[in-house]
Amino acid sequence: MREIHVNQITETIKQLCMDANYYLSEDIKNRFNEYKEKETSKLGKEILDILIENSKIAENEKMPMCQDTGMAVVFLEIGQDVHITGGNLEDAINEGVRQGYTEGYLRKSVVRDPLDRINTKDNTPAIIHYQIVPGDKIKITVAPKGFGSENMSKLKMLKPADGVEGVKRFVLETVKEAGPNPCPPIIVGVGIGGTFEKSAYLAKKALLRKIDKRNENPFYAKLEEELLDEINKLGIGPQGFGGLTTCLGVNIEVFATHIAGLPVAVNINCHATRHKEAII
């Protein structure tokens, strides 16, 4: 049994909150450069150049890529041979978020109640997802989620008879209706299967996968490519001003489901799709 003190978890999450907001991941940088060469819209190219320059300034100056520094979504894969010591795990996670958003000068966007709208002033509480896995380590991923894109996300309980065409139609309708609101070019996470809440979790988790890494199942890998192609034919373009670059990547995650159901969730993210991970 390996012991990990909560202070180590707090410190790790604090740093991940800042790094996720400052540094664009390499797979997205590469996709930006690839799509800039393909983009036929003059304005679209200019916007892509601005977004690339923005990411460089954020990295060099250690400042947020976007004023909406998101609600902190934390994924933990906890080894079953780990014993957490020194305090409560959830308190430690929220303390890391509190410190990261305060010391990193990140905007505090969380309200304590969805109706009274009083700001908690430290961006807590975080949304936390736990998974118990083999081993004696903890993998922590912090994914700040801005609500310009989160508000454009949708979930639908399709009928099994709707099949793959129904899934494709729902994804395309969701992106088309979102238009410029999620600050395209976007990245689209799709969760298929499970139950109502499981499909939403799958869609969120899909956004953590690198956009240059396809689903391991060839059927879904092909569907990811088809959806990416169809989305980019919508003509929404960078920041909604038209062009070929509406979407940088589509990631699909699936799970077993009931014979009577076909849940599908679409979680849209902006071009930054911020997330950083560490293993302790």
Instruction: Assign 107 a pLDDT band (cuts: 50, 70, 90).
Output: very high
Mean pLDDT of 40-48: 95
Contact of 261 with 165, CB cutoff 8 Å: no
Contact of 187 with 249, CB cutoff 8 Å: yes
Mean pLDDT of 238-255: 97
Tens digits of residue pLDDT in 52-63? 999 999 999 999
Contact of 238 with 44, CB cutoff 8 Å: yes
pLDDT of residue 170: 98
pTM of the predicted structure, to 2 decimals: 0.96
Contact of 166 with 158, CB cutoff 8 Å: yes
pLDDT of residue 261: 98
pLDDT of residue 69: 97
Instruction: Assign 41 a pLDDT band (cuts: 50, 70, 90).
Output: very high
- If you write DSSP's letter for every residue of the chain in order, what string do you get? -EEEEHHHHHHHHHHHHHHHHH---HHHHHHHHHHHHH---HHHHHHHHHHHHHHHHHHHHT--SSS---EEEEEEEEETTEEEESS-HHHHHHHHHHHHHHHTT-----BSSTTT--B-SS--SPEEEEEEESSS-EEEEEEEE-HHHHTT-EEEEE-GGGHHHHHHHHHHHHHHHHTTTT-SSEEEEEEEEE-HHHHHHHHHHHTTS-TTS--SSHHHHHHHHHHHHHHHTS---GGGS-SS-SEEEEEEEEEEE-TT-EEEEEEEE-TT---EEEE-
**Mean pLDDT (the chain, rounded):** 97
pLDDT of residue 167: 98
